[in-house]
């Protein structure tokens, strides 16, 4: 306790973003009041809300604030109101800019199946009960960013679409290091996925991950798996995995697949992390996996748990507050144990609560 004053920047964004981030803010305020954590909390517009006021998805002022704070917590960006804007002006550009400029190369997505919600999964209870895996996805390289790219005319009135998949030793090893270090705090096992059977970049990926393990992480159990096999194994026997490491493209697919093992989008947090600077400070952004859910926005029925668990990840990974993160995770469990549910996860015999009631109930369980 008695930590020096650290800064959270809250960027609620659009749709249900403001509703779910409001609950996270209440929790930060609770920790400030009851645990003397003395967090500074700043809040700004991004996405469509920023377009409406400033004509751009994120202003320079907000961007610089995000560079200076200890952790950024985002709600969601986008919605039908801005759907017709050209790609470079859309609300979602704010997030792409933040991820790129903060150099957030590691995306962490836990897939945990809460025992209380095991029936929400489409898989059999025995397959998912107790599931706790972490997908580590490379976020700034690979085919989504590689050059050359584009669509160009070719002969006979046809066109060709081009994207380029590239990875360097440095890019592979820094994300592998993140996965190995996380595994050390978990069950010590990493499954690295690629397509080394058909892609040279996959061969390099496998070799560099293995080389780093042999050099610096001898105690980690490392398994290489073809990405398509991993997709299948995730459905067949997901509990065989601890940390799954994948590039940008395969990580995108595998993390969405893993997400669905757990049932509801409203429960899934994520963290995007950069490197540590020489003072040990790490750039980071925490956000729920879901979007702005325009269909339920403004009704106080959205599930705030994904955002609250994202805040817990911020405590754990950016602020070294493991005890506080544990206490928040446990509070969520206790509320689910009591049978409180937002509309998206309601089932027979459970009590339906609003977004703000769910936030209040979680706060009431904090110690």
Chain positions contacting ligand NAD, by CB under 6 A = 16, 20, 76-79, 92, 95, 265-266, 287, 290-296, 302-303, 306, 344
Collapse the DSSP code of 37 into the 3-class scheme (helix H, G, I; strand E, B; otherwise coil) and give the result: coil
Q: Closest by alpha carbon to 328, among 310, 345, 342?
A: 310
CB of 287 to ligand NAD, least distance (A): 6
Q: 160 near 154, Cβ under 8 Å?
A: yes
Closer CB to ligand NAD, residue 26 or residue 187? 26
Token readout for 117 is: 């919600």
Closer CB to ligand NAD, residue 60 or residue 295? 295
To the query of whether residue 214 is one of the catalytic residues in this protein, the response is: no
The one catalytic residue among 70, 242, 252, 344: 252
Taking the C-alpha atoms of residue 74 and residue 291, their distance in angstroms, rounded to an integer, is 11
Closer CB to ligand NAD, residue 194 or residue 287? 287
Question: What is the enclosing helix (H) or strand (E) of 62?
Answer: helix 60-68
Taking the C-alpha atoms of residue 67 and residue 64, their distance in angstroms, rounded to an integer, is 5
To the query of whether residue 167 is one of the catalytic residues in this protein, the response is: no
To the query of whether residue 195 is one of the catalytic residues in this protein, the response is: yes
Token readout for 34 is: 């009851």
Instruction: Tell me, letter by letter, the H, E, C secondary structure of 244-262.
Output: EEECHHHHHHHHHHHHHHC
The one catalytic residue among 42, 228, 329, 360: 228
Question: What is the enclosing helix (H) or strand (E) of 199?
Answer: none
The one catalytic residue among 195, 213, 247, 344: 195
Closer CB to ligand NAD, residue 265 or residue 361? 265
Q: Closest by alpha carbon to 230, among 245, 217, 220?
A: 245
CB of 274 to ligand NAD, least distance (A): 18
Taking the C-alpha atoms of residue 143 and residue 330, their distance in angstroms, rounded to an integer, is 39
Token readout for 123 is: 């898989």
Closer CB to ligand NAD, residue 76 or residue 243? 76
The one catalytic residue among 26, 42, 97, 144: 144
CB of 10 to ligand NAD, least distance (A): 14
CA distances from 138 to 76, 135, 205, 255 (A): 21, 10, 12, 11
The one catalytic residue among 42, 132, 256, 326: 256
CA distances from 366 to 30, 310, 331, 335 (A): 9, 16, 6, 10
To the query of whether residue 256 is one of the catalytic residues in this protein, the response is: yes
CB of 343 to ligand NAD, least distance (A): 7
Instruction: Decide: residue 338, CB within 10 A, 0-12 exposed, 13-18 middle, 19+ buried.
Output: middle
To the query of whether residue 360 is one of the catalytic residues in this protein, the response is: no
CB of 219 to ligand NAD, least distance (A): 35
CB of 338 to ligand NAD, least distance (A): 19
Q: 210 near 220, Cβ under 8 Å?
A: no
DSSP assignment string, 282-315: EEEEEEESS---GGGTTTT-S--HHHHHHHHHHH
Closer CB to ligand NAD, residue 120 or residue 196? 120
CB of 23 to ligand NAD, least distance (A): 10
Which residue matches tokens 């899934």?
A: 268
Closer CB to ligand NAD, residue 220 or residue 296? 296
Q: Could you list the active site residues?
A: 144, 195, 228, 252, 256
């Amino acid at each position: 306790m008695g930590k020096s004053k650290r800064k959270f920047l809250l960027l609620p964004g659009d749709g249900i973003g403001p509703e779910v981030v409001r609950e996270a803010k209440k929790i930060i305020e609770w920790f400030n009041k009851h645990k003397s954590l003395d967090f500074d909390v700043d809040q700004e517009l991004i996405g469509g809300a920023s377009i409406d006021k400033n004509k751009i998805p994120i202003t320079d002022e907000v961007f610089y604030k995000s560079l200076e704070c200890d952790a950024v917590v985002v709600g969601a960006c986008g919605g039908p109101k801005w759907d017709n804007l050209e790609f470079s002006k859309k609300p979602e550009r704010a997030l792409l800019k933040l991820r790129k400029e903060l150099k957030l190369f590691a995306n962490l997505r836990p897939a945990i199946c809460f025992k209380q919600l095991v029936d929400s999964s489409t898989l059999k209870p025995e397959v998912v009960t107790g599931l706790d895996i972490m997908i580590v996805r490379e976020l700034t390289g690979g085919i989504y960013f590689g050059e050359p790219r584009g669509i160009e005319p070719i002969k006979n009135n046809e066109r060709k679409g081009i994207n380029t998949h590239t990875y360097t030793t440095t890019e592979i090893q820094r994300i592998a290091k993140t996965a190995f270090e996380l595994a050390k705090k978990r069950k010590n096992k990493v499954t690295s996925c690629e397509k080394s059977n058909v892609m040279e970049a996959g061969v390099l990926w496998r070799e560099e991950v293995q080389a780093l393990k042999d050099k610096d992480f001898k105690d980690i159990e490392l398994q290489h798996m073809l990405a398509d096999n991993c997709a299948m194994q995730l459905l067949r026997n997901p509990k065989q995995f601890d940390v799954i490491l994948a590039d940008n493209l395969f990580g995108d697919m595998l993390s969405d697949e893993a997400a669905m093992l757990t049932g509801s989008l409203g429960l899934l947090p994520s963290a995007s992390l950069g490197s540590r600077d020489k003072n040990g400070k790490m750039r980071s952004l925490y956000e729920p996996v879901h979007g702005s859910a325009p269909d339920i926005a403004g009704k106080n029925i959205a599930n705030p748990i994904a955002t609250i668990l994202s805040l817990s990840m911020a405590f754990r990974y950016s602020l070294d507050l493991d005890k506080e993160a544990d206490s928040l995770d446990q509070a969520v469990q206790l509320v689910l144990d009591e049978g409180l549910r937002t509309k998206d996860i309601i089932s027979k015999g459970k009590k339906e609560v609003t977004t703000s009631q769910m936030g209040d109930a979680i706060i009431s369980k904090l110690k």
